[in-house]
Amino acid sequence: MMNAPLGIICHGGAGTIDDKAAYAAGLTEAIDEGYRLLRQSANAMEAVVAAVRIMEDNPLFNAGTGSDLTIEGLIEMDASIMTQDGRFGGVAGIWGVKNPILVAEKVMTDTDHLLLSGFGATEFARRMGFEEYNVITERALTRLQRVTDHGSKYFHKQNQQRFPSGLPPASADTTSETHTGTVGAVARDKHGSIAAATSSGGIVGRMRGRVGDAAILGAGTFAGLSGAVSCTGHGEEIMRRSLARDIVGRMETVPASTAMVLVVAEARQRKVAFGAIGFDARGGICYGHTTPDMAYGYKVNERVFLFTEEKQKPR
């Protein structure tokens, strides 16, 4: 195991990305920090938490600072982390904290639970010493305004007089045409241990209380003996098909790259807008997506790669 590949792969969301250079720069910062920790003998869990935290602090991404808003203009964030030995921690619908992934880590390490949601998650964060923090940005407000100008189908049903009939659905319902910005990381440490983490600010203009795949074990995040995966994209479809667990499950019999190609092909056939990254237990790396773009990059045994360097395709 000591000679096995050491590395980290991160994603910054799937969809259509206009400013690829900015996303590449944000990914580079996260990858470099995660890899630095791995080189200093940090474990895989520590590396993915550090990488995701950096992306949560970057308002470019839809996670932590810069999270998208519900139709009422509220913040409800989801995040989770899972290790190869089956440990898991997640938060759903949390608000008022800077880094949901750090709270998810505390759920894993300091409780007997797997997932805390809503007020309970936020209350737990306060007990753990996480200070109140406002993550709303002008970008998020502008994105919500575009949705409400077009009329969210959810909000429209409950507020018939606010939005005239016949308006097109909100961009929240066309995730394949917009960049989601959800972030995630998967790492493999020098001992061969693997971990995955995912964090998301949700779909802009969603109903209050909606929970996405980033908080759900097996959907947006999964790690097992054969590998680990973090997903991004249309959360409802990712949850419906347990895509992270599906990819990891296939790693039991085929390399990571083959597992990814198979799942991406099936998802594309079903018109599921998603992307994913991962490692298998043998050190094989994989990435793939059905959307026009996915922001991703990795550093493995000093080799660095960013999605801007070549045409994206499943690997």
Catalytic annotation, residues = 182
Phi/psi at 184 (5° precision) = -165, 165
Residues in the chain: 315
Query: Is the CB of residue 93 less than 8 Å from the CB of residue 117?
Result: yes
DSSP per residue over 76-129, as a string?
Answer: -EEEEEEETTS-EEEEEEE-S-S-HHHHHHHHHHH-S-SEEEHHHHHHHHHHTT
List the beta bridge partners of residue 306.
297
CA distance 82 to 270: 27
Sign of torsion over alpha carbons 226, 26, 49, 97: negative
**Nearest by Cα to 245 from 100, 90, 108, 82:** 82
Handedness of CA 289, 10, 202, 212 (dihedral sign): positive
Burial 254-286 (b: 16+ CB within 10 A, else e): ebbbbbbbbbbeebbeeebbbbbbbbbbebbbb
8 A C-beta contact, residue 304 and residue 31: yes
Report the alpha-carbon distance of residue 117 to residue 90 in Å, rounded.
Answer: 8
